[in-house]
Amino acid sequence: MIPIANPIIDQEEKELVNEVMDSGMLIMGEYVKKFEKKFAKYSETNYGIATSSGTTALDVAVKSLELEEGDKVITTPFTFIASSNSILYSKADPIFADVKEDTYNIDPDSIRELLKEHPNTKAILIVHLFGLPCDMDEIMEIANEHNLLLIEDSAQAHGATYDGRKVGSFGEVSAFSFYPTKNMTTSEGGIVLTDDQEIMERARLLVNHGSPKKYHHDILGYNYRMTNISAAIGLVQFKKLDKFNEQRQKNAEKLTDGLNDLDWLETPVVPDNREHVFHQYTIKTDYRNELLKYLKENEIGFGIHYPMPAYEQSLYKKLGYKDTRCPVTEKLCDQVVSIPVHPALSDEDLDYIIEKLRNFR
């Protein structure tokens, strides 16, 4: 079986984890601080606040902006549920924009239309989906014109760039995930990035019970801290991130070269001004059900990211989103299939995947 994901954990990660275990400092400490500084610098931001997961990073990112109950935040419905849920956690209201059919990312034209309906919108939460940056020139233009706060969900886009600038460095605040299947991992973890000192200070309080020092609690906070154990894994993984991304890009290039002439599928697009880091290699096809059966029979792993828009989830229907419609998103939810692209794939694996897909129809 060729898996859809295969985290690469080597001896160096294990040795540094053992070092942490021997130190006795298992929770917050120097390893976390080192990881925060290294990842923030790499992502071209001033501050990094490590968290226990990508979801807690999103929660902190949104809460650090001090939105008020009922504030409207435009976001995408074509992503993992944590993106829009992070808006709900702050008692704000997600407003769903449609996505672009070629990139799968939020459509600036759809944002503009929603702003006509909701002129008091306070923020935009974008997702750099599958490792491809959004249309940042247009999104920044919209945010500046309408005085909107910008939150970047960069959970799938570690190291991706738009016009040479790293994702996570455009908005007031951004969030990354280090779940095991991501481009790098801390086993489970996340990080909030910002250039704003006040946002950073609030975020630090939020991740640690609202506490600036032991037994003093200034705001309502949470236990969202990253452990030293996770940070140790992250420090080693971070050194490999560019190499992992480069291998993902090479694997994606080989897949595209081998598949882009087939008339029954569409391979991912990479606009000229963007560096795609291929968290997922996602194709589109009108023959998905038959293809999934075929992939299973041939022991090729796959993923459906994502099978329904966020607003069609039971939670959102109960919240009153029954009449929300994003036609492009709904179409994509029936077409997309992600196939293996991770750096642990061999050339033989890639050749096998290409051969089998070419023989599908």
Reduce the DSSP state of residue 316 to 3 states and report it. helix
Residue 5 located in a structural domain = no
Q: Are strands 265-266 and 173-177 parallel, antiparallel or unpaired?
A: unpaired
From residue 186, how far is each of 14, 48, 229, 243, 292 by CA, in Å?
12, 15, 8, 17, 31
Q: Please check the confidence at residue 27 and state whether its pLDDT lies above 90.
A: no
Residues 131 and 146 in one domain: yes
Instruction: Return the ∠ at Cα 109 (arms to 105 and 112), rounded to 5°.
Output: 115
Tokens 């029936």 sit on residue: 334
Q: Please check the confidence at residue 25 and state whether its pLDDT lies above 80.
A: no
State the average pLDDT over residues 146-152.
98
Q: Please check the confidence at residue 26 and state whether its pLDDT lies above 70.
A: no
- Of 176, 202, 237, the domain-final residue: 237
Residue 259 located in a structural domain = yes
- Of 237, 255, 270, the domain-final residue: 237
Residue 29 located in a structural domain = yes
What percent of the chain stands above pLDDT 90?
A: 96
Distance, CA of 324 to CA of 9 (rounded, Å) = 42
Q: Are 353 and 10 spatial neighbours (Cβ–Cβ below 8 Å)?
A: no
Distance, CA of 36 to CA of 30 (rounded, Å) = 10
Distance, CA of 95 to CA of 9 (rounded, Å) = 39
Residue 152 located in a structural domain = yes
Instruction: Return the ∠ at Cα 154 (arms to 109 and 303), rounded to 5°.
Output: 90
Residues 66 and 186 in one domain: yes
Tokens, residue 15: 């040795």
Residue of 133, 338, 340 whose CA lies nearest to 247? 340
Distance, CA of 344 to CA of 19 (rounded, Å) = 26
Mean pLDDT for all residues in the chain: 97
Residues 21 and 151 in one domain: yes
Q: Are 237 and 230 spatial neighbours (Cβ–Cβ below 8 Å)?
A: no
For residue 259, what are the domain limits?
241-358
Please report the pLDDT score of residue 115 as a whole number.
98
Distance, CA of 32 to CA of 231 (rounded, Å) = 5
Q: What is the pLDDT of residues 44-99, one digit of tens each?
A: 999 999 999 999 999 999 999 999 999 999 999 999 999 999 999 999 999 999 99
State the average pLDDT over residues 109-134.
98
Residues 266 and 230 in one domain: no
Residue 2 located in a structural domain = no
Please report the pLDDT score of residue 20 as a whole number.
85
Q: What is the pLDDT of residues 292-351, one digit of tens each?
A: 999 999 999 999 999 999 999 999 999 999 999 999 999 999 999 999 999 999 999 999
Radius of gyration of the chain (CA): 20
- Of 220, 237, 254, the domain-final residue: 237
Please report the pLDDT score of residue 24 as a whole number.
73
Tokens 């309080």 sit on residue: 205
Residues 233 and 143 in one domain: yes
Residues 78 and 141 in one domain: yes
Residues 252 and 229 in one domain: no
Residues 200 and 287 in one domain: no
State the CATH number of the domain containing residue 324: 3.90.1150.10
Residue 3 located in a structural domain = no
Q: Please check the confidence at residue 23 and state whether its pLDDT lies above 90.
A: no
- Which amino acid would we find at residue 300? I
Q: What is the pLDDT of residues 188-213, one digit of tens each?
A: 999 999 999 999 999 999 999 999 98
The one-character DSSP state at 208 is: B
Residues 78 and 193 in one domain: yes
Q: Are 94 and 258 spatial neighbours (Cβ–Cβ below 8 Å)?
A: no
Distance, CA of 90 to CA of 49 (rounded, Å) = 19
Residue 196 located in a structural domain = yes
Residues 200 and 264 in one domain: no
Residue 308 located in a structural domain = yes
Residue of 99, 100, 94, 102 whose CA lies nearest to 124? 94
From residue 91, how far is each of 58, 253, 357 by CA, in Å?
14, 42, 45
Please report the pLDDT score of residue 28 as a whole number.
74
Distance, CA of 308 to CA of 318 (rounded, Å) = 16
Residues 35 and 75 in one domain: yes
DSSP track, 326-345: -HHHHHHHTTEEEE---TT-
From residue 152, how far is each of 181, 197, 211, 247 by CA, in Å?
20, 17, 26, 25
Number of folded domains that form the chain: 2
State the CATH number of the domain containing residue 200: 3.40.640.10
Residues 180 and 280 in one domain: no
Tokens, residue 280: 């997922």
